């Protein structure tokens, strides 16, 4: 007889999505099990849904745990957006001979004070977000002026599933992870969100407006669909904990 301790209860998070047509289970990157349901799905059915897929979920969660333990923190931060490379020094570790590296990169190192992985990732992500606040709003204003598509205000966030969003009031939110993507792709994402200030949907009129400002938008859409692979694992680890 199997020992119940061999199969401890699964811990999961619930997400209600208006886009979901059916209930499903999903393993978040480095973050455990998530149950996604449509708004009208009976919540009393969720435990049975999880039980049906428990074996699969445990295998996936265990696999993610092994990946999480293997993650290495970066020795430098490479941003595709502005082609910059910033060395990283962890203050709690012995300094190695990196003078030549710093001179070659012509960049002051980022000194991370945290002593454990969680603290260090928080500092690294804070640095990324600050750079995003410095770089992305000016670029959005430039794209807005060029296209004639106005917006009310902009904010920088660490969104889990969206690169950007636009509210009915013209408030555009941009993901700080955009710094890991090339400038041309980021500009397309900005055009996409600015077009939502005119058409808050994905109708034919919306896509005609997008095409008017970015004729090769389909190529950029394909790039965006693969762009999550460019975000470093250590960044995703902290985002989904």
Strands annotated E in 91-150: 110-112
Mean pLDDT of the chain: 87
Q: What are phi and psi of 107, to 5 degrees?
A: -140, 135
**What is the per-residue pLDDT for 88?**
96
pLDDT bracket for residue 6 (50, 70, 90): low
Domain ranges of the chain: 4-70, 76-239
Q: Where are the beta strands (DSSP E) in the chain?
A: 12-16, 24-28, 32-37, 76-79, 84-90, 110-112, 153-157, 164-166, 171-175
Instruction: Answer yes or no: is pLDDT of 119 > 70.
Output: yes
Counting Cα atoms < 13 Å in the Cβ hemisphere of 99 gives 1
Task: Work out the widest C-alpha separation in the chain, in whole angstroms.
Answer: 70
Which fold does the domain 76-239 belong to in CATH?
A: Zincin-like (3.30.2010)
CA angle 228, 189, 154 (to 5 degrees): 105
Q: Which of 27-36, 124-133, 222-231 has the lowest mean pLDDT?
A: 27-36
**Residue 199 reports pLDDT greater than 80:** yes
Task: Report the Cα 132 to chain-centroid distance in Å.
Answer: 13
Close Cβ partners of 235 (under 8 Å, ≥ 6 residues apart): 121, 124, 125, 128, 177, 180
Tell me how far CA of residue 10 lies from CA of 6, 47, 53, in angstroms: 12, 10, 11
- Write down the pTM of the prediction: 0.74
Higher pLDDT, 161 or 169: 169
DSSP, residue by residue, 160-215: SS-SEEE-TTSEEEEEGGGGGS-HHHHHHHHHHHHHTTT-SS-SHHHHHHHHHH-T
Q: Which of the four pLDDT bands, split at 50, 70 and 90, describes residue 239?
A: low
Task: Report pLDDT for 4.
Answer: 45
pLDDT-derived band at 208, boundaries 50, 70, 90: very high
Q: Could you report the per-residue pLDDT of 78-106, keeping only the tens digit for each?
A: 999 999 999 999 987 655 555 554 445 45
Task: Give 38-76 pLDDT, tens digit per residue.
Answer: 999 999 999 999 999 999 888 888 777 776 777 889 999
Per-residue pLDDT for 179 more than 50? yes
For the cut 70, the answer to whether the pLDDT of residue 164 exceeds it is yes
């Amino acid at each position: 007889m199997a020992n119940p301790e061999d199969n401890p209860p699964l811990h999961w998070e619930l997400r209600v999505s208006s886009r979901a047509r059916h209930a499903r289970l999903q393993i978040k990157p480095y973050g455990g099990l998530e149950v996604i349901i449509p708004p009208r799905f009976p919540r009393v059915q969720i435990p049975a849904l999880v039980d049906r897929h428990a074996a699969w979920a445990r295998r996936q969660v265990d696999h993610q745990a092994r990946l999480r333990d293997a993650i290495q923190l970066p020795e430098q931060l490479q941003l595709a957006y502005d082609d910059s490379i910033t060395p990283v020094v962890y203050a709690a570790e012995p300094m190695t001979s990196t003078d030549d590296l710093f001179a070659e990169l012509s960049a002051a190192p980022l000194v991370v004070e945290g002593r454990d992985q969680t603290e260090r990732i928080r500092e690294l992500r804070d640095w990324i977000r600050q750079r995003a606040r410095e770089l992305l709003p000016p670029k959005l204003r430039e794209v807005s002026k060029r296209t004639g598509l106005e917006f009310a205000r902009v904010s920088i966030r660490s969104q889990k599933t969206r690169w950007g969003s636009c509210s009915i009031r013209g408030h555009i939110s941009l993901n700080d992870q955009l710094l890991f993507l090339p400038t041309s792709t980021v500009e397309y994402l900005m055009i996409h969100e600015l077009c939502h200030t005119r058409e808050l949907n994905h109708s034919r009129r919306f896509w005609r407006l997008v095409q008017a400002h970015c004729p090769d938008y389909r190529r950029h859409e394909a790039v965006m669909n693969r762009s999550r692979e460019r975000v470093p694992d250590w960044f995703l680890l902290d985002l989904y904990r």
